[in-house]
Chain A
Amino acid sequence: MDMNQYLDVFIDEAREHLQALNDHLLALEDDMANISIVQDMFRSAHTLKGMSATMGYEDLASLTHDMENVLDAIRHEQLQVDSDIVDILFQSVDALEAMIQSIIDGGDGKHDVSAIVERLTAAIAGDAQPADEPGSEEPAGQTSSGPEINQYERTVLQQSVESGFNAYHIRVELRAGCILKAARAYMVFELLEKSGDIIKSVPAAEQIEQEQFETSFELVYISNEDEEWIHDLILQVSEVEKAIVAKIPAETWSSATDESEAKKTEKKKKSSSASEKKKPEHPPRAQNTAKKRVGGKTIRVNIERLDTLMNLFSEMVIDRGRLQQIAAELNHPDLADTVEHMNRISGNLQDLILNMRMEPVEQVFNRFPRMVRGLAKDLNKRVDLEMSGAETELDRTVIDEIGDPLVHLLRNAVDHGIEHPEEREKQGKSATGKIRLTAFHSGNDVFIEIVDDGRGIDPDKILNKAIEKGLVNAEKAENFSKQDIYQLMFASGFSTSETVSDVSGRGVGLDVVANKIQSLGGAVSIQSDIGKGTKFSIQLPLTLSIIAAMLIQVGREKYAIPLSSIIETAIYKKEDIRFVHGQPMIDFRGKVVPLISLSEIFSIPTEKDDQTFSVVVIRKGDQLAGLVVDSFIGQQEIVLKPLGKYLSHVFGIGGATILGDGQVALIIDCNALVKS
């Protein structure tokens, strides 16, 4: 069978499971006694193993198998969780990630796992009796005449019967033509595990998953339900031909327990109590499956198709504008009605399409706890990462791109921001540093903030460095505000690796971060207090392709200003202008705001010379500016188009759009115009 068509699905799911493993490991590290976390991890590892084996990734399967053994030992309380074990498990997950990555990159997913496997095996051997191993699902594969019950299983059986459960021998036969044997078997397992425990299966569970069985398999099962109930339960699964459920008489296994083994049995009593321990967890498990079913009503769509859909729709938006204009010119009531209706519908359609492309930033945030933990450990620091707003949604394109800049900023925060524990204590701070990662919506933008309570950034040092690097001359720098100075850190050429140690703080490649964010139509700003900490604030547009904009006119030219940058539009009188250092300013709600004449900076000829003038108040972060325009045309949804590679960097212009009449209008890049 050609597996390639399943590769995408495999990768997606494998990633989900790895993420789950990561999350759970972090949780487990905090709460090592919590066996239910291990249960969840076991399930993820188990599924991953099955998937990998089906896809033929042997290394992946074998590593997950060993992880599963360790987890199994833990959940049966044969093994105590300690930081060593958590570390080994982390390493295993890292190795798994590397393998999945190799598969994504078109590799074969091969990876030398022997070292980790050894450690995993050693972990089990360290705590558990070697004789106990291999656990519940060992060599049973060869047995043909009913399941043979080994030492361990016998004890479990004994224990459960003592506590009022029944042991059953179940034989399930699938219909001869059954295509999805493994799936059917899995369904049987699922059902049974809801109301009891499968002690053993023949063939072993992993062989069943790989469809290495004919049409029947056998199980040893403990439950407090009766035979008939179980029988009916199994027959609920389609394509099950026959189910034979028989109680296992106590003699068959208890007689075998001879004196010599009594001692061992004693030892294992603790572990065998697992079956009871498991009992109270059944209700939550049932809930889990219910939840899964609700969430299961989705389909995976290739992102390229969504992109195409978006592009097609963009074309339509342009035609929509054109139609509106034609309808207005013709003044035909029926046409106007129809256009109006189409407008509304396409508006809804637009929301829907944009919505489909939205994904929570969670998937980007997810990997950060791991990363920060590792980094802090490497640097001998103690760092708490607090995340909030992970459910905030962003356009898929932005999600794909925003990961690297965030990693960069977080690394900087841990590396340069947070001090060593001793240093922190000396300053009267708690030994554990805190980094807060927050995402939230505000208007048409999404903000992501990274706040640390570290040593902060000294603007003087930054300035000196910048002057030294020749990025700015000393005289000019005298008038610089703190903000101006921090912005210097984003200048290319500021950050080279050697500046990192000198400058008390951030260094490496902040220009890369700024560039990336700007290319996404966003902006980044810094606030910092020496000794108290630093805040990086990233502002990102909700979506990249269709934006709401205000059309304005200067002279005979039309421009679009993104609504997200606009605070207000206003009309001022000539005498309202004040001059500060020759720079025209206006008073906007008690704030003195510089005026920027579009006709001047874009050298547009205009004869307008009235007593009043129109101003669009725009913002970049906290900074405001007033754009002087001739007139406001109105608000409109516009489709963002690039100016073309030839004109990739034009000052003050962020792109172009096509208006209803087919004309091109340029989109003003407010971030460039507002001097910070």
Chain B
Amino acid sequence: MFEQESVVEKVKVVVFRLKDEEYGVEVDQVKSIERMESITRVPNTPSFVKGVINLRGVVIPVINLRSRFQMEEEEYTDSTRIVIVHVNEMEVGLIVDAALDVLDVPLDAIEPPPEVVGGVEAAYLRGMAKLEDRLLVLLNLDRVLSPEELKQVEQMEINQ
């Protein structure tokens, strides 16, 4: 007990699954986790933007994290969740395959990310956390959700 309470700082993360990998975002950035609900498509947006939902009277954009990271999309299942995150005064819903749990990750367990993890470029990652039996990919949401990125992707898709 005493040893655990020592100086090891921890960060609480919400863990979710994409394909067969586990990802984490800091719990402070997560507002809520919602079940899949009907999404209104917004035209003229990048393909990973799935549209907007009505979350208790507030209209919130939703993106599919799989296609955001260039993984192939799959049918939504019962376990599909929308993780509502709050970053830079923006609220965005992230569609993930499943929301798993909330974990304490000791800061010293976090390592800098390798170049590419499961197709996700290092720029979008905060690091990798090695826990006893699992490997967590920690996301850098500021980057994933930056408006400039959105514009760039939009431009790329138009050009294609």
Contact = CB atoms under 8 A, between A and B. Distances in A.
A653 B42 contact: yes
A658 B59 contact: yes
Given A664-B53, A664-B59, A644 B92 contact: yes
A647 B38 contact: no
A662 interface: yes
B61 interface: yes
Contacts of B52: 643-644, 647, 656, 664, 666
Contact of B147 (A641, A646, A656, A664): A646
B43 A603 contact: yes
Contacts of B45: 647, 650
B43 A601 contact: yes
Interface in B40-94: 40-45, 49, 51-54, 57-61, 88-92
Nearest to B40: A664
Contacts of B40: 557, 656, 663-666
Given A602-B43, A647-B49, A650-B44, A663 B90 contact: no
Top 5 A-B pairs, shortest CB-CB distance: A602-B43, A664-B40, A645-B90, A656-B59, A651-B44
Interface of A: 315, 318, 557, 601-604, 641-648, 650-653, 656, 658, 662-666
A639 B49 CA distance: 23
Contacts of A647: 42, 45, 49, 52, 61, 150
Given A315-B57, A658-B54, A658-B57, A644 B42 contact: no
B36 interface: no
B145 interface: yes
A664 to B, nearest CB: 4
B155 to A, nearest CB: 13
A644 B59 contact: yes
Contacts of A601: 43-44
A399 to B, nearest CB: 26
Given A645-B90, A650-B42, A653-B42, 14 more contacts: A318-B57, A557-B41, A601-B44, A603-B43, A643-B59, A644-B52, A644-B91, A646-B92, A646-B145, A650-B43, A652-B43, A663-B40, A664-B40, A666-B42
A664 B38 CA distance: 9
Given A651-B44, A666-B40, A642 B61 contact: no
Contacts of B145: 646
A308 B10 CA distance: 40
B54 A662 contact: yes
B61 A644 contact: yes
A665 B150 CA distance: 22
B68 to A, nearest CB: 12
